[in-house]
């Protein structure tokens, strides 16, 4: 399946018409749950629209690429390009999905949430909440660096490709940064795009330092009680150096 996805996406990126056909040996799960389904179902609807072949192929190609990206079927280099391509077009969807929890206060020192570009998570609003430092885990988004500079806020950018985990070295840098910035009682905002994957890994590492008496399972439960995050991220064994 991974090889098929890579071939399809390569064709898309080269702007070649994508010919949709029945695939033998397809995923036995319901069509809409598979990466192939993400391409086939929209293509069936689009095929009846009065649009040209190129426009139709671009639309179908977009769906194929996004489906493969979300299903983690792409190699890292291709995922990196896809994450940058989809960041701004899909950010409103992320904000809508997280509308009741754009950010979450984990403790007195750390907040975690979505990419800070609008509503309650603009740099100015973060500053009003006592945030003086930001940990940015997005490879696909540099962050509002000019606003940070104007507000005298520090940003630590640790670019991690979406759907991949931060390295132990990156987690150590993030924890060190949080400890340094929060010494005077200030807070740090940790974010990726949606605030539930890459940023959750950093918060997990931070909570491990703050609560050395807790097991990784207990740390995960504590974090999940604060915010809806990926249950399989992070893998506990990666963070034993912080215990």
Strands 110-113 and 187-191: parallel
Contact status, residue 193 vs residue 117, Cβ threshold 8 Å: no
Residue that has been written with the tokens 């940015």 in this structure: 136
Helix (H, G, I), strand (E, B) or coil at 93: helix
Beta strands in 1-126 (DSSP E): 103-105, 110-113
Query: Which run of H or E residues covers position 135?
Result: strand 131-138
**What DSSP line would sit under 142-203, residue for residue?**
---HHHHHHTT-EEEEEEE-TTSPPPHHHHHHHHHHHHHHGGGT-EEEEE-SSSSSHHHHHH
Q: Phi and psi of 50, rounded to 5°?
A: -80, 65
- Residues classed as catalytic: 192
């Amino acid at each position: 399946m991974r090889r098929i996805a890579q071939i399809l996406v390569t064709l898309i990126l080269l702007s070649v018409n994508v010919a949709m056909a029945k695939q033998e040996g397809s995923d036995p799960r319901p069509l809409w749950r598979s990466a192939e389904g993400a391409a086939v179902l929209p293509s069936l609807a689009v095929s009846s629209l009065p649009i040209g072949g190129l426009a139709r192929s671009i639309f179908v190609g977009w769906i194929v690429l996004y489906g493969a990206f979300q299903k983690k079927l792409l190699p890292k280099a291709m995922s990196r390009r896809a994450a940058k391509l989809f960041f701004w077009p899909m950010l409103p969807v992320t904000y809508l999905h997280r509308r009741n929890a754009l950010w979450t206060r984990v403790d007195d020192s750390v907040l975690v949430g979505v990419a800070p570009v609008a509503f309650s998570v603009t740099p100015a609003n973060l500053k009003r909440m006592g945030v003086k430092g930001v940990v940015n885990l997005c490879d696909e988004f540099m962050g509002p660096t000019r606003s940070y500079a104007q507000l005298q806020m520090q940003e630590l950018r640790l670019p991690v490709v979406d759907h991949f985990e931060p390295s132990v070295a990156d987690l150590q840098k993030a924890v060190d940064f949080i400890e340094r910035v929060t010494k005077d009682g200030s807070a740090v905002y940790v974010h990726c795009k949606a605030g539930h994957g890459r940023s959750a890994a950093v918060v997990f590492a931070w909570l491990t330092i703050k609560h050395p008496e807790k097991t990784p399972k207990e740390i995960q439960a504590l974090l999940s009680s604060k915010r809806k995050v990926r249950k399989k991220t992070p893998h506990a064994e990666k963070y034993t150096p912080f215990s």
